[in-house]
Amino acid sequence: MNIKKFGKELTRHFQSGVSYMIPLVTAAGLLTSLAVIFGGQEVWDTTETFWGVVRMIGQTGLGFIVPMISGYIAYSISDRPGLAPGFVTGIVANEMGAGFIGGMVTGILTGYLVNLLKKMPISPKVQTLKSIIIIPFITTAVVGLAMWYVIGVPITAMTEGLTNWLNGMSGANATFLGALLGAMMAFDMGGPINKIAYAFGTASFASGSYAASTAMLLGIGIPPLVMFIATLLNKNLYSDAERDNGKTAMIMGLVGITEGTIPFAVADPLAVIPSIVVGTAVSGGINAFFGVTHQTMLSTFMAIPFTSNAIIYVISILIGGVVGALMVNVIKDLKKRRKEETTELQGEDNR
Amino acid sequence: MTKIVAVTACIAGLAHTYMAKANLEKFAKQKNIEIKVETQGAMGIENKLSEEDIKEADVVIFSVDTNVADRDRFEHKKILEVGTSEVIKKGEEVIGKAINMAEGEK
């Protein structure tokens, strides 16, 4: 199999895993967030209080992110027989502290090993043995052991390094990360690149690196804000339907859905996509530069009350929104003028 | 008459899945072609294709960014596999391609 095709296939399996993971993250993330919001910082190490229990439920869910990713990547590759071994090896990856990347690796290894074993020639008499005992047993043992003794070791070291780096980051590095995550979130508005940033931010949240999770979550609402402001600033560049859509997108953006921006991007990708990417990167960069974070899984606007510095946070949002809006309108305006010029020229030719 | 069945699925299962479905239906209607689209979104499988639907279809379109659930239902069918964004941007082309594939068999 050629490498490009293989890469494409892997991406699809990875995306399937993330797709199953999303409801888990929203459920567990929101519970954890609510607990911190209402219970304060003391909820982290207690189950004596109500909010402590809510926190515990949420955090238990967050702890399942890595096994879930592993299990469903394996499921996507090798169907049903991959699921259970994928979960178990994912829990091993989690126990080792190999994090998100560890879970991806165990999922992929499990999936392909199961596929390999499926092809193993075996007498039809023991066919049932194969699916019920041999495949799950061998896969779990081999991948689990390989993970613990060999593959997991560097991954754990890498994950720890990454976490420390994220936690210790400030100034230019933080700005760059904030801008990069913002740009990725905006680039395809809920598509694969957005989801890579989303997965990264979520994993960072689960390991307590709030700078990355804040930057990622901040990026969710900026693209709709950009288009909303843009439709307000210059009505002539947009059809009635588009202006209506700007409002709808904004409302969706308020509750944390980026996808409302897609119709704009489909209609005019060259003007819209670069502008929302720049706008979101600007917001993420400014906010990260000042080190504003929040310890919730709430998106852009809903997180405002829980940020460490709400004023700077809101200013970052607005600057990004306005920069993106101006950019998209300038590009649209230029395109419109060029179009008018060419039609005028054609008109003269006809005379 | 050409008959198409399709499956759409995106990562979050909120927007692209349903936009792809809408576009497939729109362009199939334009070309007067019968189409049934199953969505595998955040709510799981909706508008599920029956065995009969699949059997009668001349060609299957997978408009997916993830894996297709219960893929073995489509064994031995002609399958056109594309991403959801391709269908959303160039729906007409995709339907055209599917028709060509279906007619190739005759």
- A15·B88 Cβ contact <8 A: no
Domain range summary for chain B, segments of one domain joined by +: 3-104
How crowded is residue A305: how many other Cβ atoms within 10 Å of its Cβ?
12
On chain A, the residues whose CB falls within 8 A of the CB of B85 are: 188, 191
Whether A176 has a pLDDT exceeding 80, the answer reads yes
Among A48-52, A160-164, A293-297, where is mean pLDDT lowest? A160-164
Confidence at residue A301, expressed as pLDDT on a 0 to 100 scale: 92
pLDDT at A347 over 60: no
- Residue of A76, A79, A190 lying closest to B12 (CB–CB): A190
* Contact assessment for residue A339 and residue A305, using Cβ atoms and an 8 Å cutoff: no
In this predicted structure, the answer to whether residue B106 has a pLDDT above a threshold of 70 is no
Helix (H, G, I), strand (E, B) or coil at B44: strand
- Residue A163: what pLDDT? 79
Nearest to B14 among A76, A259, A266 (CB): A259
CA A115 vs. chain centroid, Å, equals 28
Confidence band of B41 (pLDDT split at 50, 70, 90): confident
pLDDT at B69: 85
pLDDT at residue A345 is higher than 70:
no
- Percent of chain A with pLDDT strictly greater than 90: 47
Q: Using pLDDT thresholds of 50, 70 and 90, give the confidence band for residue A42.
A: confident
Residue A6: CA atoms inside 13 Å, Cβ hemisphere, count? Answer: 5
Q: Nearest 5 degrees, angle CA B95-CA B101-CA B105?
A: 145
A201-212 pLDDT, tens digit each: 888 887 788 899
Q: Contact, A98 vs A156, CB < 8 A? A: yes
- Per the model's pLDDT, the better-predicted residue between A169 and A221 turns out to be A221
Count of pairs with CB atoms under 8 A, one residue in A, one in B:
53
Burial of A179-209, coded b for 16+ CB within 10 Å and e otherwise, reads bbbbbbbbbbbbbbebbbbbbbbbbbbbbeb
Instruction: Please say if the pLDDT value at position A30 is more than 90.
Output: no
Task: Quickly state the pLDDT bin for A346 (edges 50, 70, 90).
Answer: low
CA distance A91 to A89: 5
Nearest CA in chain A to B90: A266
**Best CA proximity match to A276, nearest among A182, A195, A181:** A182
Q: Do A191 and B88 touch (CB under 8 A)?
A: no
Report the gap between the CA of A76 and the closest CA in chain B (Å). 6
Out of B9, B15, B71, the one facing A259 most closely (by C-beta) is B15
Q: Is the pLDDT of residue B64 over 80?
A: yes
Burial of A57 (0-12, 13-18, 19+ CB in 10 A): middle
d(CA A91, CA A98): 10
Query: Nearest residue of A to residue B84 by CA position?
Result: A191
What's the gap in Å between the CA of B2 and the closest CA on chain A? 29
Is residue A311 very low, low, confident or very high in pLDDT (cuts 50, 70, 90)? very high
CB-nearest to B67 from A16, A22, A23 is A16
Whether residue B72 is predicted with pLDDT greater than 60 in this model: the reply is yes
**Residue B62 β-bridge partners:** B7, B81
Per CB-CB distance under 8 Å, the chain A contacts of B65 are 12, 15, 191-192
Chain A, window 231-270: residues with a beta carbon less than 8 angstroms from a chain B beta carbon: 257, 259, 262, 266
Say if the ipTM goes beyond 0.90.
no
Instruction: Tell me which residues of chain A, numbers 173 to 232, contact chain B at a CB-CB cutoff of 8 Å.
Output: 188, 190-192, 195
Could you tell me the residue ranges of all domains in chain A?
A: 3-162, 169-350
Write the pLDDT tens digit of every residue in A215-273. Answer: 999 999 999 999 999 999 998 899 888 898 899 899 988 988 888 888 898 888 899 99
Q: To 5 degrees, how large is the angle CA A297–CA A19–CA A210?
A: 25
Q: What is the pLDDT of residue A272?
A: 94
- Residue B39 has a pLDDT of 94
What global pTM score does this model have? Answer: 0.75
Q: Is B53 exposed, middle or buried (0-12, 13-18, 19+ CB in 10 A)?
A: middle
**Which chain B residues are within 8 Å of A18, Cβ to Cβ?**
11
Q: Tell me how close the Cα of B13 comes to any Cα of chain A, in angstroms.
A: 7
Are B65 and A15 inside 8 Å of each other by CB? yes
**Residue bearing the bigger pLDDT, B104 or B68:** B68
- What band does A349 get if pLDDT is binned at 50, 70 and 90? low
Q: Which amino acids of B are annotated catalytic?
A: 10
pLDDT confidence band for A351 (50 / 70 / 90)? very low
The string of pLDDT tens digits covering residues A116-167 is 998 888 777 777 788 888 999 999 999 999 999 999 999 999 888 877 887 7
Quick one: pLDDT at residue A340? Answer: 81
B28 lies within 8 A of chain A by CB: no
pLDDT tens per residue, range B17-31: 888 999 999 999 999
Class of domain B3-104: alpha beta
Tokens for B23, please give them: 């576009």
Q: How far apart are the first and last CA of chain B?
A: 12
